[in-house]
Amino acid sequence: MPRDNELLDNWWDEAYSGPMSFMRFKFSQDLDKADIAVLGVPYDLGTTNRPGARFGPRAMREQSTLTGEFEYGLWPWDYHIAEHHTVIDYGDICEFVGYPERMVEVLEKTTSKIIDSDTVCFAMGGDHFISLPLLRAHVKKHGPVALVHFDAHSDTWVDEDYNHGTMFYHAIKEGLLDIEHSIHVGLRTPNPENHGIEIIFADELDEMKASEVSERIRNRVGDAKTYLTFDIDFLDPAYAPGTGTPVSGGPTVMMGRKILKGLAGLNFVGGDLVEIAPAYDPIGNVTAVAGATLGGDILYLLSEALRR
Ligand SMILES: [Mn+2]
């Protein structure tokens, strides 16, 4: 299907010109017409090490003008999402400068507004702490969700502080997660307490084929309502140096993409991609190029789930 300028904004611009919406989907807040909304959350006060993920949404949008330019869709997906669904770029929420608590409130409220109008939400971070208010909103609508979590870290540290290393502990404590169907993928940092969540550590993952990893995730998740969260530091710092807490010994972008593609058809109700801090890229926006591509893959997974 040729691109429809009702669905896509300024797609005819060259990659280096025109408005920077995510993958050239139209900037809009008209939720009545949208199936999927992309939401930027430029918040990084939850970081425990290097800040800078507030520049993540803009960097992803900028690099996605290239990944989103093909009318045939994002390779190797063999169609364009716009053939099936109306995707909008909802813009950023940013009404919280100097008031972290306000971010939690505004993000949960905005997410609820989006998903209560039967629009699926894909959020771009920002640091990983944003997943907590996102989960709260999704659970209010769907009940506890299975978590498919790509990351070098479990983010389940038993700690009453609220930051980007503890939010899934709080999510567990608040009863937001369907633990039996949840899984961490790619961990390579100490994890003294697994809270009952299945783990594929990075060394084990390195011995597996992407299809085997996907299969293991599918077996764990089954048909549960699932939230997908992707910390860019899942990737090796060779592919994603521009992030807050990089950990060596991770997978390639290709491995990540193949694993994601192998999850098509799972019952995803929402997702996010977080922790791109472009200032730490040595050159060429390498982390945001990976993030824009993987973010595109996640949009396809959400679109596939809507078509179930
Ligand atoms: Mn991480």
The Å distance, Cα 229 to ligand 1 centre, comes to 11
pLDDT surpassing 70 at residue 20: yes
pLDDT at 8 over 60: no
pLDDT band at 258 (very low <50, low <70, confident <90, very high): very high
Q: Cα of 39 to ligand 1 centre, how many Å?
A: 20
How confident is the model over 94-104, as pLDDT tens digits? 988 889 999 99
State in Å: Cα 225 to ligand 1 middle.
23
Ligand 1 centroid – CA 153 distance (Å): 5
Q: How far is the CA of 299 from the centre of ligand 1 (A)?
A: 21
SS3 for the chain, per residue?
CCCCCCCECCCCCCCCCCCCCHHHEEECCCCCCCCEEEEEECCCCCCCCCCCHHHHHHHHHHHHHHHCCCCCCCCCCCCCHHHCCCEEEEEECCCCCCCHHHHHHHHHHHHHHHHHCCCEEEEEECCHHHHHHHHHHHHHHHCCEEEEEECCCCCCCCCCCCCCCCHHHHHHHCCCECHHHCEEEEECCCCCCCCCCEEEEHHHHHHCCHHHHHHHHHHHHCCCCEEEEEEHHHCCCCCCCCECCCCCCCCCHHHHHHHHHCCCCCCEEEEEEECECHHHCCCCCHHHHHHHHHHHHHHHHHHHHHCC
- Give distance in angstroms: CA of 245 to centre of ligand 1: 6
| 55-94 per-position pLDDT tens digit | 999 999 999 998 887 888 999 999 999 999 999 999 999 9
Measured in Å, residue 231 CA sits from the centre of ligand 1 at 5
Cα 71 to middle of ligand 1, angstroms: 33
Distance in Å, CA 83 to ligand 1 centroid: 34
pLDDT band at 1 (very low <50, low <70, confident <90, very high): very low
Residue-level pLDDT at 71: 80
Q: What is the pLDDT of residues 147-200, one digit of tens each?
A: 999 999 999 999 999 999 999 999 999 999 999 999 999 999 999 899 999 999
Tell me the CA–centroid distance for residue 94 and ligand 1, in Å: 23
Distance from the alpha carbon of residue 122 to the mean position of ligand 1, in angstroms: 18
In the reported structure, the alpha carbon of residue 81 is separated from the centroid of ligand 1 by a whole-number distance in angstroms of 29
pLDDT of residue 53: 98
Mean pLDDT of the chain: 94
Domains in the chain: boundaries: 22-306
- Give the model's pLDDT for residue 158: 95
Residue 17 has pLDDT above 90, yes or no: no
How many whole angstroms from 286 Cα to the centroid of ligand 1?
Answer: 18
In this model, does residue 9 exceed pLDDT 80?
Answer: no
Q: How many angstroms is it from 247 CA to the middle of ligand 1? A: 8
Q: Name the CATH architecture for the domain at 22-306.
A: 3-Layer(aba) Sandwich (3.40)
Can you give the pLDDT at residue 12? 61
Give me the mean pLDDT over the 102-124 stretch: 98
Q: How far is the CA of 86 from the centre of ligand 1 (A)?
A: 31
For residue 70, the model assigns a pLDDT of 80
Q: Distance from the CA of 188 to the center of ligand 1, in angstroms?
A: 10
Percent of the chain with pLDDT over 90: 88
pLDDT digits 0-9 by tens, 259-274: 999 999 999 999 999 9
C-alpha of residue 284 to centroid of ligand 1, in Å: 22
